[in-house]
């Protein structure tokens, strides 16, 4: 492993926003996916990235996490440019991503402890119980909800200061949703971690968001503090409907 940042925030970087995205653009197969995307996510906050299907949320998530470089613009994580070398400071749950089906949950977690330098065995034990993950079950035999919980467990067992979740509720049953949402709330308790969550399940997460960023047709259609929305008598859902309905 070389040039991978450790999950610590030092000096001025600690004061910088967790994510700073400036004029990000992306074109795939001559089709514009994202254009002039600019927004910031404060450290220690929980931000919702909301938008309809095909809005470019997943591509934006991949760029923010540094998996894919943007064609134009810049992305900074805690004041330093995003990229594969910054994967140590963030924990990413991909949309409909799958873990190796030939491993049991226990084997995967054992490997993950070796793969992620910031892995916390204590968090793993604690969250395994809360999320109801059976370590003896093979991933290939898990239901969607069970695998989603295992994936979230993997993300939250790390000590990375930034957690990015792309559609954590897709295809997940009600009980699993509640477990996932409460695990996120539990992790938010210390106020040190930053969460960016892309989801369609606005009602499920509405009470948790500090800020929402609305993405449509590859552009930012709005960015609001949830508290400001409430003060003006609006909800996240009504704001979403105003923009996209």
Partner 1 sequence: MKKQPDALYELEWRSYRAYLPLDAKSGMYWAATFLAILAAALIFLRESVSIESVFAFGAILVALLSGFTSLFQSLAIWENGFREWWLTFPVPRRDLIRAKVRAAIRMQYYTAGSIWIVCCLYGLIRAAGGEGAEPIAADRLLGDWIAYGCLFAAIVPLCTMIGYALLGMYYGWRRWFLIPQFFVSLLPIMSFSLVSSASEDIQRWLRAETVFLYAGIALALAALLYRAVMAFVARYGMAELAKHRPGGHAAGSRGGRGTAVRSRLRVGHGFAALYALERARFRHFSSLRVVRILYVCAAALAGAGAYFAVRERESGLGMIQILLIFLVVVPPSILSTLTQHDANKRRIDWWLGLPYSRLSLLLARMAATWASIVIWMGGLVAAAAVGAALRGGGNFVATFDFGRDGMLLLYMAALYVGLGITVSCLLFGQSYSFRHKLVTWIYFPIVTGIYFVPMMIGKWMLDEEAMRSGVGMTHWLWLAVATAIAAPLAAICLRLGARWVHLYPFNTQEAGRRNRASRRAA
Contact with partner 1 (CB under 8 A) among 35, 113, 123, 225: 113
173 binding partner 1? (CB under 8 A): no
Instruction: Kindly tell me which of 100 and 186 has the beta carbon lying closer to partner 1.
Output: 100
The β-bridge relationship of strands 162-166 and 72-77 is unpaired
End-to-end CA distance of the chain: 47
At 21, which helix (H) or strand (E)? strand 19-28
Provide the b/e sequence for 90-107 (b: ≥16 CB within 10 Å): bbbbbeeeebeeeebbee
Stretch that binds partner 1, among 39-47, 105-113, 208-216, 219-227 (CB under 8 A): 105-113
* Token representation of residue 85: 């070398």
Three-state DSSP at 141 gives helix
Sheet of 90-93, strands arranged across? 90-93, 162-166, 194-198, 46-50, 211-216, 219-225
Instruction: Kindly tell me which of 143 and 238 has the beta carbon lying closer to partner 1.
Output: 143
Query: DSSP letter at 154?
Result: H
Contact with partner 1 (CB under 8 A) among 8, 15, 27, 141: 141
Give 56-109 as a DSSP string.
SHHHHHHHHTTSS--SEEEEEETTEE-SGGGGGGEEEE-TT----TTSBHHHHH
Contact with partner 1 (CB under 8 A) among 14, 36, 140, 185: 140
Instruction: Kindly tell me which of 148 and 239 has the beta carbon lying closer to partner 1.
Output: 148
Instruction: Kindly tell me which of 18 and 226 has the beta carbon lying closer to partner 1.
Output: 18
* Token representation of residue 145: 């909800």
We find the least distance from the C-beta atom of residue 8 to partner 1, in angstroms, to be 13
Contact with partner 1 (CB under 8 A) among 104, 120, 219, 223: 104
Contact with partner 1 (CB under 8 A) among 69, 81, 171, 186: 69
We find the least distance from the C-beta atom of residue 237 to partner 1, in angstroms, to be 29
123 binding partner 1? (CB under 8 A): no
What residue ranges bind partner 1 (CB under 8 A)? Answer: 1-4, 28-29, 62, 65, 67-69, 84-85, 87-88, 92, 94-104, 106-107, 110-111, 113-117, 136-142
């Amino acid at each position: 492993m070389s040039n991978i940042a450790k999950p610590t925030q030092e000096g001025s970087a600690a004061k910088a926003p967790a994510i700073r995205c400036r004029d990000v653009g992306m074109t795939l197969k001559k089709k514009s996916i994202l254009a002039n995307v600019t927004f910031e996510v404060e450290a220690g906050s929980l931000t919702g990235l909301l938008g309809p299907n095909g809005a470019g949320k997943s591509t934006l998530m991949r760029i923010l996490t540094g998996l894919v470089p943007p064609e134009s613009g810049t992305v900074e994580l805690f004041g330093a440019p995003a990229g594969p070398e910054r994967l140590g400071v963030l924990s990413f749950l991909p949309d409909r991503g799958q873990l190796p089906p030939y491993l049991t949950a226990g084997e995967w977690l054992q490997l993950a402890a070796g793969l992620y330098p910031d892995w916390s065995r204590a968090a793993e034990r604690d969250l395994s119980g809360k999320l109801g993950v059976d370590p003896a079950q093979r991933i290939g035999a898990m239901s969607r909800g069970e695998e989603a919980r295992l994936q979230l467990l993997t993300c939250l067992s790390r000590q990375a200061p930034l957690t990015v979740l792309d559609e954590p509720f897709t295809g997940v049953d009600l009980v699993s949703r509640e477990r996932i949402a409460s695990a996120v709330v539990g992790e938010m308790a210390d106020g040190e971690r930053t969460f960016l969550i892309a989801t369609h399940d606005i009602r499920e997460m509405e009470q948790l968001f500090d800020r929402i960023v609305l993405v449509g047709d590859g552009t930012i259609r709005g960015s609001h503090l949830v508290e400001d929305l409430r003060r003006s008598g609006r909800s996240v859902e009504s704001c979403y409907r105003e923009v996209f309905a």
